[in-house]
């Protein structure tokens, strides 16, 4: 350990560097040199503390962590990692299920849209009588079927049918499809009431 | 027996890899590399967290959170940059979060808890620490209470972890001039606190 000596040229250089060190204006190599010197030279350490007491902290202050503590931390981290992995697996599983549902509903929506487009483009003239059993099964899943809501062709409700027809599609040329069936749950609905129509086109099975 | 030997050999080889390589392999799912990284970086992370949160026990909790976050976010690590900067960034942010939440907790439960814990730690931990380090550590804990989280983090990173200003700016997510500002203010506040709490220590300042 060096003795306190400002006469020592290295100590003199180091002590002259305290001020730029405090201003954070010392280049890295000199900064490192100063810190290393302070660790070794008690005289300069005292001089530094006398000039600015915060310079006492200019040294690595390592927290002693024993091997046992490191092992404990590692064990805790690995347990946490296992939990995170399990969480990820669960999330991925539910994500797949949700994706499956989304794909299923998207396919159903697409099928319904295509069916509706074909039906509309055919000028509503292709409707068949529905199979009541199927219609009720479909309705029980979607909404409670009212007693009067027996399946009926759209042509049975001419007042509301034009309201559902998009203007652009209304101009399309009719292309009759003998497989399309429309289940209309409230054929007598006026303009203010919701209209529920289930269209099934067997010709578009996908 | 042969399997155990080969595992030990693998661990020995992995232990010699540089930080960046370990992180890259851990990112690819190599758990041995991840474990080696945790073991290697635990002292540095605990030291940094200890200076910011002020308690050894809390620092160990923060270190666990840091490594869990590292595992969870390892896919975001860009190997062009230093692992330490990335790691210190996570450690600093989590320590600051912890400090904020523990401050609000302590406000609710009273400050006595902190004093009791500090005394317990002082008696338990000092045996393993060099006397001077222990003294400085306690001194810093006592005088750093009035620093803001960012000032404290900047000062600890600069003085005790010896990080470059540019690195600290990256870690704290601010500009280098802001870091210098934090450091300047931290020194000013620390000096004032030392004068207030330890005047006898400062009386020696003008000694020849």
Task: Of A33-37, A192-196, B44-48, B56-60, give the lowest mean pLDDT range.
Answer: A192-196
pLDDT value of residue A90: 83
C-alpha closest to that of A154 among A132, A191, A180, A193: A180
Q: Nearest CA to CA, how far is B201 from chain A (Å)?
A: 9
What are the counts of helices (DSSP H) followed by strands (DSSP E) for chain B?
11, 0
Q: Pick left, alpha or beta for residue A24 (phi over 0 → left; psi -120 to 50 → alpha; otherwise beta).
A: left
Lowest average pLDDT, out of A87-91, A130-134, B10-14, goes to: A130-134
Nearest CB among B38, B68, B140 relative to A57 is that of B140
The structure tokens 């899943």 sit at A141
pTM, to two decimals:
0.62
pLDDT band per the 50, 70, 90 thresholds, residue B104 = low
CA distance A180 to A199: 7
Give me the percent of chain B exceeding a pLDDT of 90: 56
- Average pLDDT of the segment spanning B42-60: 91
The two three-digit tokens of residue A63, written as one number? 């927290």
- Gyration radius of chain A's alpha carbons: 41
Closest residue in A to B61 (Cα–Cα): A73
- The verdict on a CB contact (< 8 Å) between A35 and B51 is no
DSSP B29-49: T-HHHHHHHHHHHHHHHHHHH
CA–CA dist A104, A110 (Å, integer): 10
Q: Which of B202, B59, B204, B84 is nearest to B141 (CA)?
A: B59
Residue A77 has its nearest CB partner, among B64, B183, B206, at B64
Sign of CA dihedral A13, A16, A18, A24: negative
B184, A76: Cβ pair inside 8 Å?
no
Unique residue bearing structure tokens 């991840």? B34
Q: What is the mean pLDDT of chain A?
A: 67
More confident residue, A130 or A108: A108
The whole-angstrom distance between A101's CA and the closest CA on chain B is 28
Q: Return residues 62-101 of A near B (CB < 8 Å).
A: 62-66, 69-70, 72-74, 76-78, 80-81, 84
**Complex ipTM over 0.90:** no
pLDDT higher than threshold 90 for residue B109: no
Phi first, then psi: give them for residue A53, nearest 5 degrees.
Answer: -60, -25
């Amino acid at each position: 350990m060096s003795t306190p000596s400002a006469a020592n040229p290295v100590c003199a250089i180091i002590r002259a560097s305290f001020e730029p060190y405090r201003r954070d204006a010392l280049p890295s190599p000199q900064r490192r040199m100063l810190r290393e010197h302070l660790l070794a030279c008690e005289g300069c350490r005292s001089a530094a503390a006398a000039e600015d007491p915060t310079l006492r902290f200019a040294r690595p202050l390592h927290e002693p962590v024993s091997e046992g503590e490191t092992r404990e931390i590692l064990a805790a981290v690995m347990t946490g990692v296992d939990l995170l992995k399990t969480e990820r697996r669960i999330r991925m599983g539910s994500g797949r299920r949700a994706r499956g549902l989304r794909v299923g509903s998207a396919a159903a929506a697409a099928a319904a849209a295509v069916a509706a487009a074909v039906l509309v483009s055919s000028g509503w003239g292709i409707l068949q009588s529905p199979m009541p059993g199927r219609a009720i099964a479909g309705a029980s899943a979607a909404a409670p079927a009212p007693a009067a809501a027996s399946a009926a062709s759209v042509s049975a409700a001419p007042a509301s049918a034009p309201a559902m027809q998009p203007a652009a599609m209304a101009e399309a040329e009719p292309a009759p499809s003998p497989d399309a069936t429309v289940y209309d749950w409230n054929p007598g609905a006026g303009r203010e009431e919701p209209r529920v129509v289930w269209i099934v086109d067997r010709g578009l099975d996908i | 027996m042969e399997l155990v030997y080969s595992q030990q050999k693998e661990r020995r080889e992995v232990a010699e890899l540089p930080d960046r390589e370990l992180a890259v392999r851990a990112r690819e799912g190599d758990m041995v590399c991840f474990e080696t990284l945790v073991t290697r970086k635990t002292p540095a992370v605990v030291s940094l967290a200890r200076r910011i949160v002020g308690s050894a026990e809390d620092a160990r909790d923060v270190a666990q959170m840091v490594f869990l976050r590292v595992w969870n976010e390892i896919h975001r690590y860009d190997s062009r940059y230093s692992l330490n900067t990335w790691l210190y960034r996570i450690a600093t942010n989590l320590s600051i979060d912890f400090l904020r939440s523990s401050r609000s907790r302590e406000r609710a439960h009273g400050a006595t808890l902190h004093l009791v814990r500090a005394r317990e730690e002082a008696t338990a931990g000092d045996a393993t620490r060099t006397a001077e380090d222990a003294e400085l550590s306690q001194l810093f804990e006592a005088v750093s209470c009035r620093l803001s989280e960012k000032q404290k983090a900047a000062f600890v990173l600069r003085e005790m972890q010896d990080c470059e200003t540019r690195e600290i700016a990256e870690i704290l997510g601010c500009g280098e001039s802001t870091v210098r500002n934090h450091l300047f203010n931290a020194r000013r506040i620390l000096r004032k606190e030392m004068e207030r709490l330890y005047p006898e220590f400062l009386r020696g300042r003008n000694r020849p």
